[in-house]
Structure 1
Amino acid sequence: MKKLYGVIGDPIAHSMSPIMHNDLFQFYQIDAHYHPFHIQKEQLEDAVNALKTIGVAGFNVTVPHKGEIMKWLDEIDPLAEAIGAVNTVVNRNGKLTGYNTDGPGFVKGLRMLVQPLPGQRVLIVGAGGAAKAIYYALAKEGINMIDICNRTVEKAVELKKSCPFSVNTEILSIKEAEEKLNQYTLLIQTTLIGMEPATDFSPLSLENLNRDALVSDIIYNPLETKLLREAKEKGAIIQNGIDMFVYQGALAFQKWTGIMPDTARMKINVTKQLGGNPC
């Protein structure tokens, strides 16, 4: 009997996940299908119960439901509990368990470009849900210097206070971060600034960027944001959001099927769909 998987969110039509996961099911000869479900906030409880009733084997969760869905799950993984957000759900014999693969997915993608991670001097731009998942995951990996800058400083302070892992963190305004940018070996941009259609914007100036730094922007549409273009012009190594997207999806696929999929295949597939050069 064909198994059903999916992703829930609002909006959902733009999601690359169905293309990515259905290709994997075909590649590994798994009798399954992955479907996007457009679920509005007021429908969430009923939708979760319906997915459980029809026996959906697992599903991803995207905005705006990553936090709210935790109310309707049977169990939550400790990391997801700490982050306060779930992006992957596994149905085991009628019991729904929530996980967060965003932070670990980012770390796996980062390891392709940076070794070792401990010792890196990190600046995270933003203090939202993605920043929180990445901040926790990096702190868990033993990086003990992670600063945060955000337009609303109070939100960054809350993020620092909530972290369950040992880490040294300074909270900075955008201006303060710009002034000391040359101190960082890794800059991670987690906001929506620079995403389609507002591609002419950047969250901060890179005038003082360390030329040996890696600049990672979790946006993947466009494939190269204004921030990444400016960083490349300064000679820095750059990384867009495809790696994070692919690895968080790969970790979800592994939780559902027990198979760690071919991430190179996933990356080529997603890049093609976005109109980029997969080579």
Structure 2
Amino acid sequence: MTQITGKTGLTGLLGSPVAHSISPLMHNYSFQALDLDYVYLCFDVKEQGLKAAVEGLRALNVRGFNLTMPDKNRVLEYLDDLSCAARLIGAVNTVENQNGRLIGHNTDGIGFMRSAKEQGLELKGKTMTLLGAGGAATAICAQAALDGVAQLHIFLRSTSAHLPRMETLAENLSSTTDCCLQIHDIQNLSALQNAAEDSALLVNATSVGMAPDCENCLLPEDFCFPSNLTVADIIYNPWKTKLLSLAENAGCKTFNGYSMLLYQGAEAFRIWTGRDMPVGKVQNYLQMQE
């Protein structure tokens, strides 16, 4: 690891839990590879401590930081400005410090769509089903619509506090893109079954199934996955969630959130440093750590 000096710039991750995150490995390796005097740390910050944490980081003049669940939506009220994408989505996963002004960005959608492309998926003109309505879900929705997905089925709990924001996003995207977005109650299993049968890709964009609650799953064990459906989970710890295991058993192709994390991190790295993350080298390095 690069020696920490009096000039070392601080970057990091806010959220809870964060101990499992591979972001420190990814960013610190990249800083060292490009001879940049920065360090990346994790801070376990729940929603009730977010305001104090953000103001503390501003006072410390950090270069920037990432946010993960449950802080991506709440952080908006503590920032000075938002990028166009972050304003549209209503969620931030990357903050840039511009001379004391904190600017919110969202790189999740870019990261996810690039990871889907890496799997050989061509989603332009296709139908996609998404589970969830939080920060990552809204980012994926927006980027999918912008990238030419023809129809998007969004499933969430009818009591979700995120429902109004998702309804507004769906309305905005329907009027500004060619994508048709429909919102459904996740308890409507017949609608979910029909959507899955029409879709090229089904995505869990929630934290359900993340360690340590690995036995949780939004779909019942007897859900009928079409064998030609690809199923993705934005979780990467565990590597194979219960959802992905059920889908694999049904003959579906699956992938987790590892590549999404890598590619959204690469965009955050560029925002903070103005340099391109050495993604290929990072992938090799992370594989060596497993």
Q: Which runs of 5+ in 1 are unaligned?
A: none
Larger mean Cα displacement after TM superposition, 139-148 or 172-181: 172-181
1:187 aligns with 2:202: yes
SS of structure 2 residue aligned to 1:34:
strand
Percentage of pairs with the same residue: 36
Equivalent residue number for residue 52 of structure 1: 58
Matched residue pairs, number? 274
Quickly say closer, same or farther: Cα 1:37–1:225, change in 2 above 3 A: closer
Equivalent residue number for residue 84 of structure 2: 78
RMSD: 2.4
Q: Runs (4+) of structure 1 moved beyond 6 Å?
A: 153-156
- How far has the Cα of 1:8 moved from its partner? 2.0
- Kept in 2, the 8 Å contact 1:156–1:171? The answer is no
- Kept in 1, the 8 Å contact 2:11–2:63? The answer is yes
Q: How far, CA to CA, are the matches of 2:207 and 2:154 in structure 1?
A: 16
**Superposed CA offset, 1:124-170 (max 9, x none):** 12223221111111111121200122343776863244332222123
**Equivalent residue letter for 1:22:** N
Q: Which runs of 5+ in 2 are unaligned?
A: 1-6
- Kept in 1, the 8 Å contact 2:123–2:200? The answer is no
**Equivalent residue letter for 1:71:** E
1:165 aligns with 2:173: yes
**TM-score, normalised via structure 2 length:** 0.84
Among candidates 269, 272, 275, match of residue 253 of structure 1? 269
Larger mean Cα displacement after TM superposition, 114-123 or 217-226: 114-123
Quickly say closer, same or farther: Cα 1:69–1:155, change in 2 above 3 A: closer
- Kept in 2, the 8 Å contact 1:184–1:210? The answer is no
- How far has the Cα of 1:40 moved from its partner? 4.6
Equivalent residue number for residue 225 of structure 2: 209
**Equivalent residue letter for 2:79:** L
Larger mean Cα displacement after TM superposition, 22-31 or 175-184: 175-184
Equivalent residue number for residue 65 of structure 1: 71
Equivalent residue number for residue 4 of structure 2: none
**Superposed CA offset, 1:219-276 (max 9, x none):** 1111111221222233322111111111111110011112221333334444565x4x
- Kept in 2, the 8 Å contact 1:149–1:174? The answer is no
